A and B are shown apart, each in its own frame.
Chain A
């Protein structure tokens, strides 16, 4: 059981989150992890574990909602960092994906040596 789970569930009318938090607590226990040492890498790994179990996006979103709610509550109680702050819901675009979208190397004429005089300016319209 997570340290502040009972208070969180009582305050938040958190019945929808109860099963999700219990599942997370069981996963932590099975791995011998203490919630005090949970950071975003562990949360990412937990969500990955859920996906390997066959979770669809709705179930993952439920888990993200429960984790975000619980760790925000814990952070407010303890004044500690919130490890779930950076978790994304389904369909949100994180920084990693933006890096891909902005990858412009493949469009650079200068890269292919066919427009060397353009230098860093690239195509028309670019500053």
Chain B
């Protein structure tokens, strides 16, 4: 049988729509082209503008990750002006960004990834009815809990960031207004609600502190099967992954990258960043390589446009880039996304990358035991939400409303080349900027979804997401659930409805509806 080409989409991402062209042969995926189908041109919008303008413009790149963008934008100005941000402002920024990440992580697993877990493929599983009762979109108990409690997380974000989306309080030098004691009090109580009602009540069905003490894969699996813990959503997800081999799918190239992020106290980072090569895949050559000199580290980033709809066929550092879109490019230029590379190679970013680089003992042990996979990518996302609950609580306790929350920053920005980086929920985000004559001469945003879902480069190397789907089972093209799991495990900002297309013909439509309405 001849290879078939299948189009899968739309799968939305942070800055627009994504779709995928698959070549399937003998029941396996042999090639995938990830195509960003919309051009937005932030780099062009910002050219020639005031150096402070990106602070209010770039958070509008995304209604979900606006905090992450404003963090990067203010850091470019802070880097240029050399301002030292007060420690309490660092702390408050961490709280703002971490609660945004918690919201995103919860919504991704329960609202975007979760509907695939009740795919009809799993109908024969003994726990399927319970799974549907919990995960059914709109009506499932866990689905509804995720809607409610993710909203409460982002209430904390909005309380301190001024509003969310489109924050106003994060400014160069710190935070616009210091928090009041009342705001700290209610944020602590809000977080306590999230912890008791969602993390401990729905996800774990057990103590957060007990869970955080787990450092080994075997201990985790034993704990999840103890007593009430077995009823938690996390235990159910792990059992489903074990029953259907989800820890053997969507491995990818196994090379991960993250930036230093969540600084507090000054000079120390919750996530120190760096590179991590899978120990499971690469054995003794695997492991963590620290960031070292931040300037040198960021210099190792480049973007390739050989398969992107831009003029030229170059790979350049963002400071050297140009953004000239092509209206009618040749066929090989199949995506509006550029192809980011680190040392010339594709790397995966996201919660799994962050936690591996950080040295999280449980995630490192799971990676060594099971290898990277769509399961581990998703487990890491949930694990990070759980851990951030404890981090944010500690940070809120450390807030001192009487301390300084901002430092004076000169309005004029010197000419030069600067960068501001952060870890958005979906992974490494960085803004690179060139200031010339007091204006923005070049502004380049390299976002997490671009890292993960970027196209091939001039050497033919697929992007991380393109690589992860290779060899994935594709026996049932009307319901390619393994492929959907893999794509969504990268969290490319999906919508709930996915249309699977064969040429121009719709093969299947996955509907959101009440229990019993799962059929296509």
Say how far B47's CB is from chain A's closest CB, in angstroms: 13
Provide the bound-state CA to CA distance between A114 and B53, in Å: 9
Question: Which of B169, B176, B177, B188 has the most chain A CB atoms closer than 10 A to its own CB?
Answer: B188
A100 and B177 in contact (CB under 8 A), knowing A44-B182, A48-B184?
A: yes
**Are B168 and A105 in touch, CB under 8 angstroms?**
yes
Q: How many angstroms from the CA of A97 to the CA of B184 in the assembled complex?
A: 12
* Size of the chain B interface, CB-CB below 8 angstroms: 29
Contact indicator per residue, chain A 70-86, by CB within 8 Å of chain B (1) or not (0): 00000000000000000
Cβ-defined contact, B168 with A57, below 8 A: no
Identify whether the interface residues of A are mostly helix, strand, loop, or mixed: helix
Is B185 engaged at the interface, CB distance under 8 Å to the other chain? yes
What is the number of contacts between chain A and chain B, taking CB atoms within 8 Å?
82
Q: Which residue of the partner chain, among A55, A94, A106, contacts B189 with CB atoms under 8 Å? A: A55
- Determine whether the beta carbon of B193 is less than 8 Å from that of A100: no
**A127 at interface by CB-CB < 8 Å:** no
Chain A 40-63 residues near chain B, CB threshold 8 A: 44-45, 47-48, 50-52, 54-60
What are the residues of chain B within 8 A of A106 when measuring CB–CB? 55-56, 168, 171
Chain A min CB distance to B396 (Å): 8
Q: B182–A60 contact, CB under 8 A?
A: no
Report the nearest B residue to A55, measured CB to CB. B189
Q: How far is the CB of B164 from chain A (nearest CB, A)?
A: 11
B162 cross-chain contacts in A, Cβ below 8 A: 100-101, 103
Residue in B52, B163, B182 whose CB lies within 8 Å of A96: B182
Q: Which of B50, B161, B168, B183 contacts A112 (CB 8 A)?
A: B50
**Within 8 Å of chain B (Cβ to Cβ): is A15?**
no
Q: Does the CB pair A112–B192 fall under 8 Å?
A: no
Neighbour of B183 across the interface among A54, A60, A96, CB < 8 A: A96
1/0 per residue, CB under 8 A from A, across B155-173: the answer is 0000101110000110100
Contact between B53 and A47, CB atoms less than 8 A apart: no
- Once the chains bind, are B193 and A56 in contact (CB under 8 Å)? yes
Which positions in A face B, CB cutoff 8 Å? 44-45, 47-48, 50-52, 54-60, 88, 90, 94, 96-97, 99-101, 103-107, 111-114
A-B contact pairs, 5 of them (CB 8 A): A90-B186, A97-B159, A100-B169, A103-B168, A112-B53
17 new A-B contacts, CB < 8 A, other than A97-B183, A100-B176, A112-B50, are: A47-B185, A48-B185, A50-B185, A51-B186, A51-B188, A56-B189, A56-B192, A56-B196, A59-B189, A96-B182, A100-B159, A100-B161, A101-B163, A103-B169, A107-B56, A112-B53, A114-B53
